[in-house]
Amino acid sequence: MIHILGDRVGLIGLLTILYLTACNSSPEVGESSPAAVELAKEPRPLMTAVLQVTTTRVQSTQRAMPPNTLTPLPPVTPTPRPTPTSAPTALPPPSPAPVSFAVIGDYGTTGQGTQDVAALVNSWDPDFVITLGDNNYPDGSYETLDGNVMQHYGRFIVEGRFFPALGNHDMTTENGRPFLEAFELPGNERYYDFVWADVHLFALNSDWREPDGITSGSRQAAWLEEQLAASSTPWQVVYLHTPPYVSMEDKMVPAARWPFASWGADLVLSGHAHLYERLLIDGIPYVVNGLGGGGIYPFDEQAHPASQMRFNDNYGALLVEVTAEQLALQFVTREGSVVDYLTLSNQ
């Protein structure tokens, strides 16, 4: 564009010089001279000449485009996408839910304490319930079974999820006949065992009227030793009414001091003393729970040397949760306060 304008200005200048030269060589004329007017009124041929020259110059200065010398790009290779498998990767199976069971002791009344503890246990809806004796005060008669037992735990009994141990009050009437007729239990029903998932439980009769004896050399004890040795479950729990050890001298029963730990038990539960206490004997916990609804007892001033936790301020129950790897127990008051918590591990 710059070259075109420069040529145009040069051409106009040349024409102007020629025009002035012509004027100087001819007679002088005024502004009204036809030749001057004619030139002024007809610029089109001049512009036409300029355009023609310009067009010619542009055509003469055009450059030929160079041949295409670009290197061709390599062909595009699509990124391979993963092929979905015919079935998703299997996830590990979820861990089974823990088995839960409630433990109540010395509850067999119609009083407010028993009703509150029963409401607590029913709210937990455990897999089953075990008792530590004295299910039916005052003497284990037929007449008081409905009021003392059935009204509180009837649904567990009907569904086969209720496993009581005999207490001394239950044995008063005909050596426990009303008890034996009221419940459908394994074995001879006075002492028996059952397995529920990962826990094997052994109910004993620690009352002195037991025909097979209550000492460590008795027929009942020989049965327990044999059953514990044969047990293959992760956990073994023994429960009975009278406590082998407790911080209440007149409720402690030395005849019940069997070598439970060396026979294979992991936990020993008992009642009879209306209080809560956890002790450590031979490396395993012994737990006393008699706060199911009967009158609460005081502790001796001097705690047992093996005592680890004592409580007697309110009624309550034990909740035990068991998996193959762990057994956890907690004592909960009727208002829902956790007083004691203990975890045992198999790992």
Q: What is the pLDDT of residue 306?
A: 98
Residues 213/207, Cβ–Cβ less than 8 Å: no
Mean pLDDT score across all residues of the chain: 83
> Measured at the alpha carbon of residue 236, what is the angle toward residues 133 and 253, in degrees to the nearest 5?
40
Q: What is the C-alpha separation between 123 and 102, in angstroms, rounded?
A: 11
Q: What is the pLDDT of residue 27?
A: 38
- Choice among 1-10, 229-238, 317-326 with the minimum mean pLDDT: 1-10
Q: What is the pLDDT of residue 74?
A: 56
Q: What is the pLDDT of residue 39?
A: 35
Q: What is the pLDDT of residue 289?
A: 98
Q: What is the pLDDT of residue 88?
A: 56
What average pLDDT does this structure show over 69-78?
Answer: 53
Q: What is the pLDDT of residue 254?
A: 97
Confidence of residue 50 (pLDDT cuts 50, 70, 90): very low
Q: What is the pLDDT of residue 71?
A: 52
Confidence of residue 51 (pLDDT cuts 50, 70, 90): very low
Task: Say if residue 243's pLDDT is above 80.
Answer: yes
- The residue ranking higher by pLDDT, 155 or 68, is 155
What average pLDDT does this structure show over 256-260?
Answer: 98
Q: Which phi and psi (to 5°) does residue 343 adopt?
A: -125, 130
Please tell me the CATH superfamily of domain 99-345, with its number. Answer: Metallo-dependent phosphatases (3.60.21.10)
No. of H helices and E strands in the chain?
A: 9, 13
What average pLDDT does this structure show over 285-297?
Answer: 98
Spatial neighbors of 252 by CB under 8 A, at least 6 apart, are: 243, 244, 245, 246, 273
Q: Which phi and psi (to 5°) does residue 262 adopt?
A: -70, -20
Q: What is the C-alpha separation between 80 and 85, in angstroms, rounded?
A: 15
- The residue ranking higher by pLDDT, 72 or 105, is 105
Residues 149/108, Cβ–Cβ less than 8 Å: yes
Residues 234/266, Cβ–Cβ less than 8 Å: no
What average pLDDT does this structure show over 160-172?
Answer: 98
Q: What is the pLDDT of residue 338?
A: 98
Q: What is the pLDDT of residue 347?
A: 77
